Amino acid sequence: MTRHRPGAARSPFRPALVVVPFAALALAAGCGGGGGSCGNPRDVAGTFSGTLVDSNCGNGTLTITLAQNDCSLQGVWSSSFGVPACSALGSVDGSTDDTDLNVRLAATTQDSCSLKLTGVVGTGQIAGNYVPDGNCRINGGGTFSVTRTSP
């Protein structure tokens, strides 16, 4: 370590050595450094209704109402099939980012069987696939396509 000699000029670059580490810490703490924020989610808040095509239950209807906080989604859902045992309702929890949607539909009407939906968000619509998740009596899955019916 070099000591400052009396009467010697101080380097004008010395203070920068102290500032640079603090700037690096600020970036690492999330100030523009990817601190967990999401990308550019599309607006999916509102009610969506449409169809389900299930490998076990056939054709049905799906209604999802979503509340959105940035990329985070919560809400409620219900499905209806010709086979009453296949119909269900419950809560929604998941996320969206850019055009991707990933949510879990937790059923309150069956034996803890939930659905994992993976979809693509378009203008006023969401479409994709789903699979059973949890303590389900049947396996399989299917496709869904819903359109916004109210904001």
Which contacts qualify for 122-130: CB closer than 8 Å, 24 or more apart? 124/148, 125/48, 125/50, 126/44, 126/48, 126/101, 128/101, 130/52, 130/105
- Does the pLDDT at position 61 exceed 90? yes
Query: Which of the 8 DSSP states describes residue 108?
Result: S
Best-predicted range by mean pLDDT (9-23, 27-41, 60-74, 79-93): 60-74
Could you report the per-residue pLDDT of 89-140, keeping only the tens digit for each? 999 999 999 999 999 999 887 666 789 999 999 999 999 999 998 877 778 8
pLDDT score, position 97: 94
- Domains of the chain, by residue range, sit at 46-150
Whole-prediction pTM = 0.73
Could you report the per-residue pLDDT of 39-49, keeping only the tens digit for each? 899 999 999 99
- Superfamily of domain 46-150 in CATH is Quinohemoprotein amine dehydrogenase alpha subunit, domain 2 (2.40.128.120)
Chain-centroid distance, C-alpha 90: 18
Average pLDDT on 18-34 reads 34
